């Protein structure tokens, strides 16, 4: 049993037995929320599992001088967001290896001093010149920081030590900006040094899509146009924009979630089996999926924005009333579209995707709706009883699990068929996990394994699909916003999108 759990925790079909080389994780933008809420808790979880090298340090870098309080603040984050007990025997030793360095991101002299500072840690802690730089900063700094690091010789691909750079999202805001950013970063780093993060790929349940498909003989033979009627992918959030008005005004649901998280999930659902689970094979298969998607007609897209409403018991304000949001904003907080993958496996199978804020509940799910059997032997005389197709749900969050519905005979003297559920729950089988997705990704980046990171071509392929939609939307601003109340399932037009194909969104 312990072994099984180990395999599941390390995901994507391979056991993670390697421990990274001695190294320093250098986090730019360390005063931001991500470091405290996600990154430090994730690093400490790795330490708890014995997956960090013995010689290891973390250095937070930001503009403000917060050296005096940084470590205590990070410990607070590890306890609060990582669910770690203050008395954990490994915590004190770990915190002793957390340091802070203040500099402006545009000051070359600061980088030179940082280089010396890190070299001092190498001397003290034996970290051997290896660096994982994590750029948890605003996107306008991605290229600049990378280039300044390179200028100081801190990311030299030819050096005997290694330097890997993790770049947070958003990676560009359209095809041109993503290309430009790729050019700027690739000018100083080799592609193998670049780790474009999408935290959805760190989620166990997203990795499990591949395990489900390719570690079982049962599903793959029917995973195609002969048996599948359509697929729905939903990333619904009940939260609003959580104080991120200026960011979200520029982003919107399509750039924030559909172009990256949802497209990544889609590639796992739709790709062909890779030759092996290495970065190059997996990336190749993902890329083939995105490139096979037909240009999306704007008539097959829907955008929405929430007005005031009730989410659960909470009264929610409308998007336009949120802090630092234009009261006449046309930014979409909901986006849905229909995609067609024109390849042998998927031709003719529509894929409907949607993402939105302030929806009825938080649920991310892939729903695969199978075709009806060729003949209905058990038609009911009761016109209210319809025969439901088999439905497979890959529940990414919350209540992580997999459910398969099928028809069963209702006990009794007549033959009535009712859908019932076969249900696998992660929590029941493996216990609750405190992992936040970043553990796996940080570990892989230290190991230099890019399998679960976005590749240059992939990022450009998804932007190539989405940019024409963004342009068409911008040319034709919405006149009906807000068009869904907070706490609902989104705009009516999203229902109409499926209705015109004689379908409706599966109930979540």
Active site amino acids = 261
Site for ligand BG6 in 434-493 (CB under 6 A): none
Binding mask 139-178 for ligand BG6 (x = CB under 6 A): ------------------------------x---------
The distance of closest approach from Cβ of residue 134 to ligand BG6 in the complex, given in angstroms and rounded to an integer, is: 16
Tokens 């770990």, residue? 94
The rounded distance, in Å, linking the Cα atoms of 259 and 465 is 9
Burial 149-162 (b: 16+ CB within 10 A, else e): bbebebbbeeeeeb
The distance of closest approach from Cβ of residue 257 to ligand BG6 in the complex, given in angstroms and rounded to an integer, is: 6
The distance of closest approach from Cβ of residue 63 to ligand BG6 in the complex, given in angstroms and rounded to an integer, is: 23
The rounded distance, in Å, linking the Cα atoms of 236 and 485 is 14
The pair of structure tokens assigned to 112 is: 């030179």
Q: Which is nearer to ligand BG6, 149 or 459 (CB)?
A: 459
* DSSP state letters, 347-397: TT-EEEEEEESSBSS-EEEEEEEEPPPSS-TT--SSTT--PPPPEEEEEEE
Reduced DSSP (H G I as helix, E B as strand, rest coil) percent helix, strand, coil of the chain, to 5: 40, 20, 40
- Which H or E run includes 484? strand 484-485
Site for ligand BG6 in 363-382 (CB under 6 A): 364
Instruction: Give the ranges where 168-262 is alpha helix by DSSP (H).
Output: 175-186, 204-214, 245-253
- Return the biggest CA–CA distance within the chain: 85
Q: Is 256 in the site for ligand BG6 (CB under 6 A)?
A: yes
The distance of closest approach from Cβ of residue 310 to ligand BG6 in the complex, given in angstroms and rounded to an integer, is: 20
The pair of structure tokens assigned to 40 is: 């430090």
Neighbours of 462 (CB within 10 A): 27
The pair of structure tokens assigned to 311 is: 């989410």
Q: Nearest to residue 395, comparing CAs of 236, 171, 257, 275?
A: 236
Q: Which is nearer to ligand BG6, 127 or 173 (CB)?
A: 173
The distance of closest approach from Cβ of residue 502 to ligand BG6 in the complex, given in angstroms and rounded to an integer, is: 31
Q: Which is nearer to ligand BG6, 23 or 241 (CB)?
A: 241
Q: Which is nearer to ligand BG6, 35 or 130 (CB)?
A: 35
Tokens 């992939």, residue? 458
Neighbours of 216 (CB within 10 A): 9
Q: Which is nearer to ligand BG6, 99 or 237 (CB)?
A: 237
Q: Is 237 in the site for ligand BG6 (CB under 6 A)?
A: yes
Q: Residue number with the shortest CB distance to ligand BG6?
A: 256
The pair of structure tokens assigned to 83 is: 């669910």
Neighbours of 120 (CB within 10 A): 11
The rounded distance, in Å, linking the Cα atoms of 458 and 464 is 10
Q: Which is nearer to ligand BG6, 237 or 264 (CB)?
A: 237
The distance of closest approach from Cβ of residue 169 to ligand BG6 in the complex, given in angstroms and rounded to an integer, is: 6
Q: Which is nearer to ligand BG6, 199 or 338 (CB)?
A: 199
Q: Is 264 in the site for ligand BG6 (CB under 6 A)?
A: no
Binding footprint of ligand BG6, residue count (CB under 6 A): 5
The distance of closest approach from Cβ of residue 452 to ligand BG6 in the complex, given in angstroms and rounded to an integer, is: 15
The distance of closest approach from Cβ of residue 172 to ligand BG6 in the complex, given in angstroms and rounded to an integer, is: 14
3-state secondary structure of 15: coil
The rounded distance, in Å, linking the Cα atoms of 421 and 440 is 31
Q: Which is nearer to ligand BG6, 71 or 269 (CB)?
A: 269
Q: Is 204 in the site for ligand BG6 (CB under 6 A)?
A: no
CA dihedral angle for residue 436, residue 441, residue 444, residue 449, rounded to 10 degrees: 150
Binding mask 6-45 for ligand BG6 (x = CB under 6 A): ----------------------------------------
Q: Which is nearer to ligand BG6, 71 or 257 (CB)?
A: 257
The distance of closest approach from Cβ of residue 454 to ligand BG6 in the complex, given in angstroms and rounded to an integer, is: 13
The rounded distance, in Å, linking the Cα atoms of 139 and 143 is 8
The rounded distance, in Å, linking the Cα atoms of 485 and 320 is 12
CA 154 to chain centre: 29
Binding residues for ligand BG6 (CB under 6 A): 169, 237, 256-257, 364
């Amino acid at each position: 049993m312990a072994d099984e759990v180990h395999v599941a925790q390390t995901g994507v079909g391979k056991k993670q037995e390697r421990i990274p080389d001695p190294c320093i994780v250098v986090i730019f933008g360390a005063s931001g929320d991500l470091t405290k809420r996600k990154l430090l808790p994730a690093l400490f979880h790795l330490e708890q599992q014995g997956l960090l090298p013995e010689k290891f340090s973390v250095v937070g870098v930001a503009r403000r001088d917060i050296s005096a309080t940084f470590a205590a603040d990070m410990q607070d984050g590890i306890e609060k967001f990582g669910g770690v007990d203050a008395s954990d025997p490994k915590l004190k030793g770990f915190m002793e290896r957390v340091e802070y360095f203040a500099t402006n991101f545009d000051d070359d002299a600061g980088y030179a001093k940082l280089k010396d500072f890190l070299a001092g840690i190498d001397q003290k802690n034996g970290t051997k010149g290896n660096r994982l730089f994590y750029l948890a900063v605003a996107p306008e700094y991605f290229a600049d920081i990378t280039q300044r690091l390179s200028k100081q010789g801190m990311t030299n691909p030819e050096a005997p030590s290694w330097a890997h750079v993790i770049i947070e999202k958003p990676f560009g805001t359209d095809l041109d900006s993503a290309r430009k950013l790729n050019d700027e970063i690739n000018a100083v780093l080799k592609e193998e040094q670049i780790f474009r993060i999408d935290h959805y790929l760190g989620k166990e349940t997203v990795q499990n899509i591949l395990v489900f498909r390719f570690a079982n003989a049962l599903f793959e033979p029917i995973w195609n146009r002969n048996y599948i009627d359509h697929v729905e992918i939903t990333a619904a959030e009940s939260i609003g924009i959580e104080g991120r008005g200026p960011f979200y005004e520029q982003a919107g649901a399509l750039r924030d979630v559909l172009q990256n998280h949802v497209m990544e999930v889609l590639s796992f659902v739709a790709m062909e089996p890779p030759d092996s689970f290495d970065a190059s094979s997996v990336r190749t298969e993902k890329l083939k999926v995105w490139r096979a998607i037909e240009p999306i007609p704007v008539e097959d897209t829907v955008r929405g924005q929430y007005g005031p409403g009730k989410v659960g018991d909470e009264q929610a304000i409308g998007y336009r009333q949120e802090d630092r949001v234009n009261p006449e904003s046309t930014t979409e907080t909901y986006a849905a579209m229909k995609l067609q993958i024109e390849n042998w496996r998927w031709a003719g199978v529509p894929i409907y995707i949607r993402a939105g804020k302030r929806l009825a509940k938080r649920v991310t799910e892939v729903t695969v709706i199978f075709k009806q059997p060729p003949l209905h032997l058990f038609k009911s005389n009761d016109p209210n009883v319809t025969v439901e197709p088999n439905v497979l749900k890959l529940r990414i969050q919350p209540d992580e699990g997999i459910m398969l519905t099928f028809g069963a005979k209702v006990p009794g003297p007549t033959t009535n068929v009712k859908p019932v559920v076969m249900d696998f729950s992660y929590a029941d089988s493996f216990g609750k996990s405190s992992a936040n997705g970043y553990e796996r990704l940080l570990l892989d980046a230290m190991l230099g394994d890019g399998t679960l990171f976005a590749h240059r071509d992939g990022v450009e392929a998804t932007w190539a699909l989405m940019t024409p939609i963004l342009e068409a939307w911008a040319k034709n601003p919405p006149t009906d916003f807000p068009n869904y109340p907070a706490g609902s399932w989104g705009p009516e037009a999203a229902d109409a999108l499926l209705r015109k194909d004689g379908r409706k969104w599966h109930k979540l």
